[in-house]
Amino acid sequence: MNRDPEGKGGTWVRALPSGGGEAVWVEGIPVALGRIDGKPVAVLDDCPDESLPLGASPLAGDRFVCPHHGATFCARTGSFCGAGRARHPDRCSQGLVPVQARTNAQGSIDLLVTTSLRASWESVRRRRPTCSRNMAAWRRSSSAPRN
Ligand code: FES
């Protein structure tokens, strides 16, 4: 972990080495990862449709596809691409929260954890239904904290 030398107001945190799609937790924040042409892409692991995780679903080209109802989002920007069978397309239109990612010298991925990213995750936690289905899905999707 090191302070952001580029002055973007955050801390770079090492994620896991990545092949295809992966879901990781960094500093208590769930993040979905992928690579496009070898370059890492990352978003907050929360589909705005029903606030369920994208999890470790591999990218479909340059898109994240939610495994629950098939909403699609641009993996580079998080912008909404298609509703699939989403129950709340209006919510999906907000898109995903992008997370800055880079490949480090060891070939694994660093993620920039910013105040804004923390605030987005806190907002998700507040609006997320207190439904055990959601947390169970998150825990299944990645190395989520068990407490
Ligand atoms: S939860 Fe993602 S499309 Fe419904």
Structural domain for 66, as ranges: 2-123
Output phi, psi for 57, to 5 deg: -65, 130
Neighbours of 128 (CB within 10 A): 15
List the beta bridge partners of residue 111. 13, 101
Neighbours of 72 (CB within 10 A): 18
DSSP summary character for residue 58:
P
In a domain, 46, yes or no: yes
Q: What's the predicted TM-score (pTM) here?
A: 0.82
At 111 the pLDDT is 94
Look at the chain and count its residues: 147
In a domain, 138, yes or no: no
In a domain, 145, yes or no: no
pLDDT digits (tens, 9 = 90+) for 88-102: 999 999 999 999 999
In CATH, what number is assigned to the domain containing residue 101?
A: 2.102.10.10
In a domain, 10, yes or no: yes
pLDDT digits (tens, 9 = 90+) for 119-146: 999 998 887 765 555 566 666 655 554 4
Which portions of the chain are predicted below pLDDT 70? 1-8, 16-21, 129-147
Closest ligand 1 atom number to CA of residue 85: 3
In a domain, 8, yes or no: yes
Asked if residues 140 and 133 have their Cβ atoms less than 8 Å apart, the reply is: no
d(CA 47, ligand 1 centre) in Å: 6
* Cα–Cα distance, 70 to 29 (Å, whole number): 23
At 115 the pLDDT is 95
Residue in the structure block whose two tokens are 């699609």: 72
Closest ligand 1 atom number to CA of residue 54: 2
In a domain, 105, yes or no: yes
* Cα–Cα distance, 12 to 15 (Å, whole number): 9
In a domain, 92, yes or no: yes
| Structural domains of the chain, count | 1
* Cα–Cα distance, 56 to 72 (Å, whole number): 14
Residue among 68, 88, 127, 141 whose CB has most ligand 1 atoms within 8 A, to mutate = 68
In a domain, 103, yes or no: yes
Kindly report the CA angle at 119 between 115 and 121, in degrees rounded to 5? 120
